[in-house]
């Protein structure tokens, strides 16, 4: 679609316009996974609608995708009991199982998961409006993440598969599980980011209660059977429903050992505060960010524009790593803005299955109104929308708005828009963007654009202490997943990467004994007789 079609009511498709391959049947998800059983829910259900509207008889109607259960407090507590019993205070089958056997369960799951690729990818498009290409990327990246996690665990296990001797004491040091993990992912990566905590939590021997993201719920349905077939009962449980009835109820019991959450700090804080034993609870959090781009006068402008377009508008700016504010040096601001607008004009918008589409409908129902508030507020404080049709809204679709000049009176200056608004401001002195970052509540990443080694080096040194990743002439991003993904200040708690996540969901624990004849004999008997899964020198190949 080109820009002039924006006001065309046929922006959204008629049923006949949807390619047959991508049509989808409603999923009535009437059951939830508890203690290895798909239990039928008899209570209230929540209907799910797509952000994609269908043009029908002169009206636009959101496509109904199905429904899922709204579990109550009793059902949620039953799920908690299942996870607790499977963990059995660390005595359960799963936490005491050998690493090799746990890996076998995970690999069985990957095999079954791969069979559901098409179904999950189509649901990603329909539920969150992600383009086909990015939905496929999300699925494949998740599979790759699981396989890399298995490889990382084998490495970790090999390093621990020997006894040490220090000051006359033998010891074997391994990593052990922590207990029951409550795992919640975000709607923008409902598969990938959920699995980036779920899989390491499971593989380290914890038992898990998984609550899907607020949007992107049905896409887990095709995987429930795979969970059921791959893990012992109670090791993974999947719940649905309102937060206060489900995760709120579970946290209040104080029986959750690890809270793994990617989403808003508001929800994270509410849930953490409900836990009555804060010292017992470990949290792994990925929260808001407001990553700036800083464009220096000697930057390669076309490269900077290309990376800023990707950084600010991939998946409509709905990435925690998105570039959410752009600082351009005064001398080059006109050139940068002009090129940015030209490039934006060429971005294809439309339905997720359309080839090369980048801008698609937004899944959060209240997002268009929120974005419009931010745009109006910025305009009241002196900004202009620089691009034609900027901010134009049709139901769930919002065309990107480029705002300039942005200043500190505007909400967009500090608030994380998590959507297609691109705030730009110019600076004379490099201390202006640096001071912005110092006083920001967030500290995830920054992108800096320039070619002068001296200037760039002077910028890198203070910025590495403001954020956790300084991207040089490149957009901000999480990947590759083997690199650490974290943040300072309000942006995160804990570090996630393939190998860091294994550490986050486990604790170093050891078996130790003084060197004497009795212990030597005992240790030899246990090791040679392969009597323990923990105290073992077996080497996983």
**Smaller CB distance to ligand G3H: residue 276 or 479?**
479
Minimum gap (Å) between residue 181 Cβ and ligand G3H: 19
Minimum gap (Å) between residue 59 Cβ and ligand G3H: 34
**Smaller CB distance to ligand G3H: residue 128 or 385?**
128
Helix, strand, coil % in the chain, rounded to nearest 5: 40, 25, 35
**Smaller CB distance to ligand G3H: residue 146 or 301?**
146
Whole-number Å distance between alpha carbons of 447 and 294:
6
Whole-number Å distance between alpha carbons of 541 and 154:
8
282 contacts ligand G3H (rule: CB under 6 A): no
Binding range to ligand G3H, per CB under 6 A, among 161-169, 237-245, 422-430, 476-484:
476-484
84 contacts ligand G3H (rule: CB under 6 A): no
Q: Which among 394, 385, 388, 391 has a CA at the least distance from the CA of 361?
A: 394
Q: How many binding residues for ligand G3H (CB under 6 A)? A: 9
80 contacts ligand G3H (rule: CB under 6 A): no
Minimum gap (Å) between residue 99 Cβ and ligand G3H: 27
**Smaller CB distance to ligand G3H: residue 135 or 477?**
477
HSE, CB side, 13 Å, CA atoms: give it for residue 515: 9
Minimum gap (Å) between residue 211 Cβ and ligand G3H: 18
Whose structure tokens read 């803005």? 337
Q: Which among 217, 220, 195, 219 has a CA at the least distance from the CA of 208?
A: 195
**Smaller CB distance to ligand G3H: residue 278 or 479?**
479
Minimum gap (Å) between residue 265 Cβ and ligand G3H: 14
188 contacts ligand G3H (rule: CB under 6 A): yes
**Smaller CB distance to ligand G3H: residue 221 or 321?**
321
478 contacts ligand G3H (rule: CB under 6 A): yes
Whose structure tokens read 């793994």? 260
Residue pair 263/293 in contact (Cβ under 8 Å)? The answer is: no
Minimum gap (Å) between residue 15 Cβ and ligand G3H: 32
The DSSP bridge pattern shows strands 442-443 and 445-449 to be unpaired
Residue pair 315/524 in contact (Cβ under 8 Å)? The answer is: no
Whose structure tokens read 């899964």? 533
175 contacts ligand G3H (rule: CB under 6 A): no
**Smaller CB distance to ligand G3H: residue 301 or 320?**
320
469 contacts ligand G3H (rule: CB under 6 A): no
HSE, CB side, 13 Å, CA atoms: give it for residue 490: 20
Minimum gap (Å) between residue 195 Cβ and ligand G3H: 12
Binding range to ligand G3H, per CB under 6 A, among 230-238, 316-324, 356-364, 453-461:
316-324
213 contacts ligand G3H (rule: CB under 6 A): no
Which of 320, 337, 378, 446 is in the footprint of ligand G3H by CB under 6 A?
Answer: 320
**CA angle, corner 464, sides to 462 and 466, nearest 5?**
80
Q: Which among 142, 280, 159 has a CA at the least distance from the CA of 219?
A: 142
Per DSSP (E only), the strands in 24-58 are 27-28, 31-34, 37-40, 45-56
Burial 383-400 (b: 16+ CB within 10 A, else e): bebbbeebbbbbbbbbbb
**Smaller CB distance to ligand G3H: residue 157 or 416?**
416
Inter-axis angle of helices 431-439 and 453-463, to 10 degrees? Answer: 20
Binding range to ligand G3H, per CB under 6 A, among 35-43, 250-258, 315-323, 511-519:
315-323
Which of 82, 237, 312, 321 is in the footprint of ligand G3H by CB under 6 A?
Answer: 321
124 contacts ligand G3H (rule: CB under 6 A): no
82 contacts ligand G3H (rule: CB under 6 A): no
Binding range to ligand G3H, per CB under 6 A, among 171-179, 188-196, 224-232, 378-386:
188-196
**Smaller CB distance to ligand G3H: residue 81 or 489?**
489
**Smaller CB distance to ligand G3H: residue 84 or 192?**
192
HSE, CB side, 13 Å, CA atoms: give it for residue 273: 7
Residue pair 6/389 in contact (Cβ under 8 Å)? The answer is: yes
319 contacts ligand G3H (rule: CB under 6 A): yes
Residue pair 508/178 in contact (Cβ under 8 Å)? The answer is: no
Whose structure tokens read 């320039």? 450
135 contacts ligand G3H (rule: CB under 6 A): no
246 contacts ligand G3H (rule: CB under 6 A): no
491 contacts ligand G3H (rule: CB under 6 A): no
- DSSP code per residue over 320-363: TTSEEEEEEEGGGHHHHHHHHHHHHHT--BS-TTSTT--B---S
Inter-axis angle of helices 132-159 and 192-203, to 10 degrees? Answer: 20
- DSSP code per residue over 472-538: ESS-----STTS-B--EETTEES-BSHHHHHHHTEEEEEEEEE-SHHHHHHHHHHHHTT--SSS---
Binding range to ligand G3H, per CB under 6 A, among 201-209, 228-236, 273-281, 313-321:
313-321
Q: Which among 446, 431, 447, 436 has a CA at the least distance from the CA of 410?
A: 436
193 contacts ligand G3H (rule: CB under 6 A): yes
Minimum gap (Å) between residue 476 Cβ and ligand G3H: 7
Altogether, the residues listed in the chain come to a count of 541
Which of 67, 249, 387, 477 is in the footprint of ligand G3H by CB under 6 A?
Answer: 477
Binding range to ligand G3H, per CB under 6 A, among 323-331, 428-436, 451-459, 474-482:
474-482
Which of 43, 276, 278, 479 is in the footprint of ligand G3H by CB under 6 A?
Answer: 479
Contact footprint for ligand G3H (CB under 6 A): 188-189, 193, 319-321, 477-479
């Amino acid at each position: 679609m080109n820009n002039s079609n924006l006001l065309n009511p046929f922006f959204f498709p008629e049923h006949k316009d949807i390619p047959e391959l991508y049509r989808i049947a409603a999923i009535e998800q009437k059951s939830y996974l508890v203690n290895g059983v798909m239990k039928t829910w008899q209570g209230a259900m929540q209907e799910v609608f797509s952000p994609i509207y269908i043009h029908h008889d002169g009206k636009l109607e959101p496509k109904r995708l199905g429904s899922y259960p709204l579990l109550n407090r009793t059902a949620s507590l039953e799920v908690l009991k299942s996870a607790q019993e499977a963990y059995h205070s660390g005595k359960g089958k799963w936490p005491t199982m050998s690493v090799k056997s746990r890996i076998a369960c995970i690999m069985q799951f990957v095999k079954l998961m791969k069979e559901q690729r098409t179904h999950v990818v189509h649901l990603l498009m329909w539920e969150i409006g992600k383009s086909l290409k990015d939905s496929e990327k999300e699925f494949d990246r998740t599979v790759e993440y699981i396989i890399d996690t298995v490889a990382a665990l084998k490495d970790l296990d090999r390093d621990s598969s020997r006894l040490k001797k220090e000051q006359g004491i033998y010891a074997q040091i391994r990593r052990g599980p922590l207990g029951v993990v409550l795992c919640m992912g975000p709607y923008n990566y409902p598969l990938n980011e959920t699995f980036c905590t779920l899989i390491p939590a499971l593989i380290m021997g914890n038992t898990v209660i998984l609550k899907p993201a607020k949007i992107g719920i049905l896409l887990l349905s095709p995987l429930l059977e795979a969970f059921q077939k791959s893990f012992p009962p109670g090791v993974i449980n999947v719940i649905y429903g309102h937060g206060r009835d489900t995760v709120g109820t579970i946290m209040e019991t104080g029986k959750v050992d690890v809270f793994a959450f990617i989403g808003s700090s508001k929800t994270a804080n509410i849930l953490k505060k409900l836990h009555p034993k804060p010292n017992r609870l470990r949290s792994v959090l990925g929260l808001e960010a407001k990553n700036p781009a800083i464009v220096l006068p000697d930057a390669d402008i076309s490269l900077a524009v290309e990376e800023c377009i990707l950084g600010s508008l991939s998946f409509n700016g709905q990435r925690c790593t998105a570039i959410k504010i752009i600082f351009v040096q005064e001398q080059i601001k006109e050139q940068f803005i002009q090129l940015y607008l030209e490039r934006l004009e060429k971005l294809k918008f439309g339905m997720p299955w359309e080839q090369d589409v980048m801008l698609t409908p937004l899944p959060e129902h209240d997002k268009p109104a929120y974005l419009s508030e931010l745009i109006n507020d910025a305009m009241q404080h002196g900004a202009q929308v620089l691009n034609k049709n900027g901010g134009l809204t049709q139901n769930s679709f919002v065309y990107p708005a480029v705002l300039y000049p942005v200043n500190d009176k505007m909400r967009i200056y500090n608030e994380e828009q998590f959507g297609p608004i691109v705030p730009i401001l110019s600076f004379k002195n490099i201390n202006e963007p640096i001071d912005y970052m110092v006083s920001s509540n967030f500290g995830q990443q920054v992108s800096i654009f320039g070619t002068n080694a001296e200037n760039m080096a002077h910028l890198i040194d203070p910025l590495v202490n403001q954020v956790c990743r300084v991207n040089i002439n490149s957009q901000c991003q999480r990947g590759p997943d083997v690199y650490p993904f974290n943040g300072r200040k309000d942006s995160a708690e804990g570090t996630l990467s393939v190998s860091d996540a294994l550490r986050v969901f486990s604790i170093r624990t050891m078996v130790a004994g003084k060197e004497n004849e009795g212990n030597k004999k005992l240790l030899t008997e246990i090791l040679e007789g392969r009597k323990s899964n923990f105290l073992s020198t077996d080497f996983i190949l």
